[in-house]
Amino acid sequence: MPKIAILVPDPDHTAYAPMLPIQRGILTAALALDGIVPDFVPWTSGADLARYDLVLPLLVWGYHDAPALWRAKLDDWEAANIRMANPPAMLRWNGEKTYLLDFADRGAPVVPSVFAEAATPALLDEARAVFGDIALIAKPTISAGAHGVIPVQPGNPLPESALGGPTLIQPMLPAISSEGEYSLFYFGGAFSHAVLKVPQSGDFRVQIQYGGRNVATEAPPAALAAAQSVLALIGAPPLYARVDLVADGAGGYLLMELELIEPQLFFELAPDRGLAFARAVRRAAAPNAAR
Mean pLDDT for the chain? 91
User: What tens digit of pLDDT does each residue of 14-67 get?
Assistant: 888 889 999 999 999 999 999 999 999 999 999 999 999 999 999 999 998 899
CA separation for the pair 198, 21 (Å, rounded): 25
Contact 188, 248 (CB under 8 A): no
What is 175-260's CATH topology? Answer: D-amino Acid Aminotransferase; Chain A, domain 1 (3.30.470)
pLDDT of residue 207: 58
Least confident stretch, 85-89, 99-103, 197-201? 197-201
Cα end-to-end span (Å), the chain: 19
pLDDT of residue 166: 86
pLDDT reading at 93 higher than 60? yes
pLDDT reading at 281 higher than 80? yes
Confidence at 210, pLDDT banded by 50, 70, 90:
low
Query: How is the chain classified by DSSP, letter by letter?
Result: ---EEEEE--TT-GGGTTTHHHHHHHHHHHHHTTT---EEEETTS---GGGSSEEE-TT-TTGGG-HHHHHHHHHHHHHTT--BSS-HHHHHHHTSTTHHHHHHHTT--B---EEESSB-HHHHHHHHHHH-SS-EEEEESS-STTTT-EEE-TTPPPPGGG-BS-EEEEE--HHHHHT-EEEEEEETTEEEEEEEEEPPTT----SGGGT-EEEEEPPPHHHHHHHHHHHTTTSSPPSEEEEEEEE-SSS-EEEEEEE-SS----GGGSTTTTHHHHHHHHHHHSTT---
pLDDT of residue 116: 82
Confidence at 121, pLDDT banded by 50, 70, 90:
confident
pLDDT reading at 220 higher than 60? yes
pLDDT reading at 144 higher than 70? no
Per-residue pLDDT, averaged over 222-249, amounts to: 96
Compute the CA torsion angle 129, 157, 179, 193 (nearest 10 deg).
90
CA separation for the pair 201, 63 (Å, rounded): 30
pLDDT of residue 118: 81
What is 4-95+275-282's CATH topology? Answer: Rossmann fold (3.40.50)
CA separation for the pair 89, 25 (Å, rounded): 28
